[in-house]
Structure 1
Amino acid sequence: MVQWKKNLMVLWFGQFLVMAGMTMIIPFLSLYLQSELGLTDPHEIATWAGFIFAGNFITAFVFQPLWGKLSDRYGRKMMLLRSGFGMAIVMVLMGFATSPWHLLLLRMVNGTISGFNPASVSLISATTPKNRMGFAMGTLQSGGIAGTILGPFMGGLLADQVGYRPIFYITGTLLFLASLLALFVVKESFDRTQAAQKPNVSVIEGFRRLGRIPQLMSLFAVSFMIQFAMIGPMPLMPLYVQELLGTTVDLAFWAGFVGSAAGLSNLVAAPLLGRLSDRVGQERILGISLVGAAVMFIPQAMADSVWQLLVYRFIQGMFLGGLIPSVNSLIRKHTPDGMEGRAYSFNSSTLSLGNMIGPVVGGFISGWIGIEGVFLVSSGLFILNAIWVWQTLAKRNNRVSRS
């Protein structure tokens, strides 16, 4: 097997474990705070659960650009291993937490040292042939999506079988093994001597340089919008499902099913659309996917039954499958050589920002114009983003080709 395919297989597995580990605590976090860490007041439990879950994204948003800078200087594989082994240790330590403060601080440390995903994307972009880039990015994304979908399911299942604390030990061990596999199997061609000869640009100056490239700014906006628009309605989904069902019977099941529908179709569509983008162009797939995802928000706001909502979200997930692989491929295309790590880390920061802001703004919009309004606002934002992408990517490419 050629080396880039070996890299892709190992990093797919790593992406799966990282995202599964990040989401595995969702089903039992409140119960863990109650039964293991001594909290009793429901309001206090809910408040701590919110802070603990968000803590990871806050520090990840701040520190991702720093790790991106170091990856451009010392290599993507080094950042990959730093993040993988570091998160494995922190995950195990979470199982020894004795107070909510311990868990919050460890989640924040985890976000601080995270960077496995952008390092994986950067390494794949540097080692994959250009004519297979879309396929590789789509396949890599499917690993993260699979982890995000199956993580909560595995967490709930393991909590019933082995208890809460052992889940952290198991996840940490799996992350350690995935990092060990990457250490021996993954290879990259990186010249540290040549990288050290380049000017040591600060994180802020690096962002300024990348900010002068309009294509990158529109691509970063796509990444933010994906998380903002998809995560925003998620806390409200059980209420919307309850409204459509007219009963609380099996509410948790249907809310979870609806919440994962887009992820399931995304998982299947991402590699297929990535392969298609290698033939017809990433810009075209990105534009079609943005418009398609925007349109599919509208019937979700008008759904009359849970089954309709389920079908609309499943179809939307297919369009979403064309977004991240296209964005990652195009980031590599428009990023100056030697700044790939920074570009992917800034992109990862925008994803974390969307994760933080989406639920807050979604809740505000819902209180103002209802849950249905959240879908309509998301649709409008996707359309605006599609216009921006057309102006900075498609329209500019047409000018270049004519000249």
Structure 2
Amino acid sequence: MKNPFFVIFTAIALDAVGIGLIFPILPGLLREVTHTSNVAPYIGITTALYAVMQFVFAPVLGALSDRLGRRPVLLISLGGAAISYVLMASASTLWLLLIGRAIAGLTSANMAVATAYITDISPEDKRAGRFGVFNAMFGVGFIIGPVLGGLLGDYWLRLPFIVAAGLNACNMLLALFVLAESRKAQQEKIDLSALNPLQPMKWAFSMKVLAPLILVFFIFSFSGEVYGTCWALWGADTFKWNGLWIGLSLGAFGVCQALVQAFLTGPAVKLMGDRPTIFVGLACACLALLVMALAKQSWMIFAIMPVFALGGIGTPALQSLATKQVEKGKQGQFQGVLTSVISLSAIIGPLVFSSIYFLVQKQWPGAVWLSNIAVYMIIVPIVMNLRLKKEEPGLINDLG
């Protein structure tokens, strides 16, 4: 428990728990607070709001961690997460629920700080593997979150939020007493332009080296939003799943995802290289989505999970490659930029996919997965033409 990686990875797992636990119970909770049965639009709004807050505050927390240190920013975000879950547990109206979800999105921007912390204490040759573990821990949280939400939510819709609040409070205490600072506070003033969420976008897409890489992150993140937005509705409409089965199905995916990220990412990149690894991941994801779109029996979804999980093997390699383009003193700010870019897709994704699901829900709910295959196909020509400069770390010294 004194290992800094333990605290960081636990924080990431709890972020994933917070994201995942709401998936099985969100439709029922929204029906309760809105007093309507058709809640697909509200699911899109709620999910997008979470991403909006993450988009706005990721560069803020990242830049603050460069100046104030990683530790205090992480402590504040963990405390804020606990408060947000308490607020959602007591929400009796839609507005109160949205406020709680907004605070949860703000505090989840600490992933940029956690990524910068890992970069601080990891040699370059070990970053890909540790980012793989980073994503695996996110997968572990994604296992626990939906199962916890589905199981406890069937007993009482508010109980999962109370449990999540307690877990975040415990992790804050653990970080307070155990986590050492990885970067000393800096004396220079914070560049206020770095706190503008639109400024990083302008910078990111002005760099010929980084723009295609960031665009790939954007599309991957956008396509990933379909699962949190539509999974619970699709499971209930197609297989008549209750909250527990929705949680178990998401948990099964999380198990496979964690194993793939922890044990297969590094060997896959060493064996095939970055570009082929991404193509293999895309092929596996598209195959799984096709099966899901056509599936008539629920066992088919669990059978395809291992193939489905292989769709994410290229992400840690992309993360490691991105960190090598930025000097050490700007890692927090850059990770905030990257998180902000990904969060932008998470704003748009839920709104787009909830609208698509609303259109196909009565005729063919599984058709929403075919729309995601179409999105993945956009990545293929971008990755085929990806050109990155093979230069030493520190190539880009100015994020302004």
Aligning the two structures, in what range does the TM-score lie when normalised by the shorter sequence? 0.7 to 0.9
Name the structure 1 match of 2:70.
76
The one-letter code of the counterpart of 2:120 is A
Map residues 188-207 of structure 1 onto 2, 5 A cutoff: 188-192=181-185, 195-197=186-188, 200=191, 202-203=193-194, 204=196
Name the structure 2 match of 1:168.
161
How far apart, in 1, do the equivalents of 2:147 and 2:259 lie?
18
**Which has the higher mean CA deviation after the structures are superposed, 97-106 or 351-360?**
351-360
Is it true that 1:286 corresponds to 2:274 in the alignment? yes
**Of 268, 275, 278, the match for 2:259:** 268
| SS of residue matched to 1:392 | coil
The one-letter code of the counterpart of 2:187 is A
Distance 1:59 1:226, change over 3 A: same
How far apart, in 2, do the equivalents of 1:118 and 1:326 lie?
17
Deviation at 1:175, TM superposition (A): 0.1
The one-letter code of the counterpart of 2:344 is L
How far apart, in 2, do the equivalents of 1:129 and 1:34 lie?
49
Name the structure 2 match of 1:95.
89
- Matched-pair contact (CA < 8 Å) for 2:13–2:137: yes
Deviation at 1:261, TM superposition (A): 5.3
Is it true that 1:231 corresponds to 2:225 in the alignment? yes
Deviation at 1:145, TM superposition (A): 1.5
Deviation at 1:326, TM superposition (A): 1.7
Deviation at 1:84, TM superposition (A): 0.8
Deviation at 1:210, TM superposition (A): 4.8
Distance 1:276 1:19, change over 3 A: same
Q: Which structure has the larger Rg over C-alpha atoms?
A: 1
Deviation at 1:313, TM superposition (A): 4.8
Distance 1:200 1:47, change over 3 A: closer
How big is each residue's C-alpha offset from its partner over 1:125-183, in whole Å with a ceiling of 9 and x where there is no partner?
1112333212211112111112123212101212344x233432221121011111112
How far apart, in 2, do the equivalents of 1:290 and 1:68 lie?
27
**Of 35, 41, 49, the match for 2:36:** 41
| SS of residue matched to 1:26 | helix
Higher relative contact order at CA 8 Å, sep ≥6: structure 1 or structure 2? 2
How far apart, in 2, do the equivalents of 1:340 and 1:354 lie?
21
How big is each residue's C-alpha offset from its partner over 1:284-334, in whole Å with a ceiling of 9 and x where there is no partner?
6432232012223443465464566655552141241x2332222222211
| SS of residue matched to 1:189 | coil
Is it true that 1:296 corresponds to 2:278 in the alignment? no
How far apart, in 2, do the equivalents of 1:363 and 1:160 lie?
24
How big is each residue's C-alpha offset from its partner over 1:78-126, in whole Å with a ceiling of 9 and x where there is no partner?
2211211111122112222232211112211222343222111110111
Deviation at 1:42, TM superposition (A): 1.6
| SS of residue matched to 2:262 | helix
The number of aligned residues is 380
Map residues 378-397 of structure 1 onto 2, 5 A cutoff: 378-388=375-385, 391-393=386-388, 396-397=389-390
**Of 180, 189, 213, the match for 1:187:** 180
Distance 1:316 1:285, change over 3 A: farther
The one-letter code of the counterpart of 1:179 is M
- Matched-pair contact (CA < 8 Å) for 2:78–2:169: yes
Map residues 74-223 of structure 1 onto 2, 5 A cutoff: 74-161=68-155, 163-192=156-185, 195-197=186-188, 200=191, 202-203=193-194, 204=196, 208-223=202-217
How far apart, in 1, do the equivalents of 2:310 and 2:285 lie?
13
Higher helix share: 1
How far apart, in 2, do the equivalents of 1:49 and 1:342 lie?
31
**Of 27, 32, 37, the match for 2:29:** 32
How far apart, in 1, do the equivalents of 2:241 and 2:387 lie?
46
TM-score, length basis structure 1: 0.80
- Matched-pair contact (CA < 8 Å) for 1:331–1:344: no
How far apart, in 2, do the equivalents of 1:176 and 1:41 lie?
34
Name the structure 2 match of 1:318.
310
- Matched-pair contact (CA < 8 Å) for 2:265–2:314: no
- Matched-pair contact (CA < 8 Å) for 1:206–1:342: no
Is it true that 1:65 corresponds to 2:55 in the alignment? no
Distance 1:174 1:231, change over 3 A: same
The one-letter code of the counterpart of 2:278 is L
TM-score, length basis structure 2: 0.81
How far apart, in 2, do the equivalents of 1:288 and 1:200 lie?
39
- Matched-pair contact (CA < 8 Å) for 2:63–2:333: yes
Name the structure 2 match of 1:349.
340
Q: CA RMSD in A?
A: 3.5
Identity %: 24
How far apart, in 2, do the equivalents of 1:241 and 1:165 lie?
21
Name the structure 2 match of 1:18.
15
How far apart, in 2, do the equivalents of 1:382 and 1:172 lie?
38
| SS of residue matched to 2:22 | coil
| SS of residue matched to 2:324 | helix
Distance 1:252 1:63, change over 3 A: closer
